[in-house]
Amino acid sequence: MNAIETLGDRTLYYVNQIGRMGIFLALVCVSVVKPPYYKISYVTRQIYLIGALSIFVIAFTGVFTGMVLGLQGYTTLRKFGSEGFLGSAVALSLIRELGPVLTALMVTGRAGSAICAEIGIMRNSEQIDALECMAIDPHKYIMAPRYIAAIVSMPLLTAVFDVVGIFGGYLIGVVLLGANEGAYFQSMYQNVEYADISMGFIKSLCFGLLVVWICTAKGYFVHLERKGGFGAEGVSRATTNAVVLASVAVLVFDYILTSLLL
């Protein structure tokens, strides 16, 4: 009997959580679109925190991802005598898959965790209640700028990742291993199509929304966490959950989006 009760309890909890996160997303989306608008300086600040500060991490991961693709791609393609395709292999893997996914994962780790913890602490120290009592809508005031910033930043970071990665692949494949430079870029220009770029772009937009949604919602509802959400421990637990959930969701959605867009 106890096991059944636990099962029911958990099911209710998760159904409840999905419901409230969905409503939360809807409310934020409405407040993004509906006037009165939040000040542009709030958005700037969030783009700074989410985008500008992430750029070095992204460039660093990007260049190494590109380098390893160059190395792996070159040794594999050489077996078939088609080193000429190295450029398109590197560019396509980066643009279609690795760029959006790895950028989303890095942003989750760098900015998503910070967003979740910050909002969680605001909730626990009654700052969110205070906003509501001042008749300031927290969806508009706290969430909307973060959502806009994430959706603006993610495609740009992904583009940086792709370009830096292509350069990294060039560095290893052409400069170090001696693949043909002309072939590297020519095969890239010829085989990368608009559909590939738009696929990467759409993915990065979706991931941006997904990451910011999960991280803000987990922080916002920290007091409703199942194992108790108060105090420093509650916030740390919510942050861990948010990062894990966001990372898994990015990978799952990557599959879904790929199958839809192909």
Partner 1 sequence: MTMDPLIQLIDVRKRFGTQEVLKGVNLAIYAGKTTVIVGESGKGKSLILKHILGLVRPDGGTVLVFGKDINAIGRKELKEIRSYFGVLFQNAALFDSMNVFDNVALPLRERTKRSEADIKKIVGETLALMDMTDSDEKYPAQLSGGMRKRVGLARALVLNPKVVFFDEPTTGLDVAKSNEIYRVFYRTQAKLGYTAVIVSHDVPKIFKLADYVALLHDGVVQDCLTPEDFQTSTNDIIRDFVEKTMGHIYDSEQMEATP
Partner 2 sequence: MNRLSIETAVGLFLIFGLACLAYLAVKLGDVHLFGSDRYVVKARFANVSGLKEGSSVEIAGVSVGKVSRISLDNYQAFVELLIDRGIKIQEDAIASIRTQGIIGDKYIKISPGGAEEYIPPNGVLSETESAVDIEELISKYIFEQKAER
Note the residues at the interface with partner 2 (CB under 8 A).
Answer: 44-45, 47-48, 51-53, 55, 91, 95, 152-153, 155-157, 159-160, 162-164, 188-190, 192-194, 196-198, 200-201
Integer Cα distance of 159 and 91 in angstroms: 12
Min dist CB 118 to partner 1, Å, is 8
The 10 Å CB-count burial string (b at 16+, else e) for 215-233 is: bbbbbbbbeebeeebeeee
177 binds, among partner 1, partner 2, none (CB under 5 to 8 A by kind): none
143 binds, among partner 1, partner 2, none (CB under 5 to 8 A by kind): none
CB closer to partner 1, 17 vs 127: 127
Site residues for partner 1, 79-138, by CB under 8 A, read 121-122, 125-127, 129-130, 132-137
Integer Cα distance of 20 and 3 in angstroms: 26
CB distance 119 to 224 below 8 Å: no
Retrieve residue 180's tokens.
Answer: 């043909």
136 binds, among partner 2, partner 1, none (CB under 5 to 8 A by kind): partner 1
Retrieve residue 219's tokens.
Answer: 């922080």
CA-to-CA dists, residue 206 to 4, 189, 213, 253, 254, angstroms: 37, 26, 10, 8, 9
Virtual torsion, Cα 105, 260, 193, 154, nearest 10 deg: -30
- Those residues with Cβ within 8 angstroms of residue 135's Cβ, 6 or more apart along the chain or in another chain: none
Min dist CB 245 to partner 1, Å, is 24
DSSP code at position 94: I
Q: Which of 24, 141, 185, 201 binds partner 1 (CB under 8 A)?
A: 141
CB closer to partner 2, 21 vs 171: 171
DSSP code at position 143: I
Min dist CB 122 to partner 1, Å, is 8
CB closer to partner 2, 126 vs 193: 193
Min dist CB 158 to partner 1, Å, is 28
Give the interface with partner 1 as residue ranges (CB under 8 A).
Answer: 121-122, 125-127, 129-130, 132-137, 141
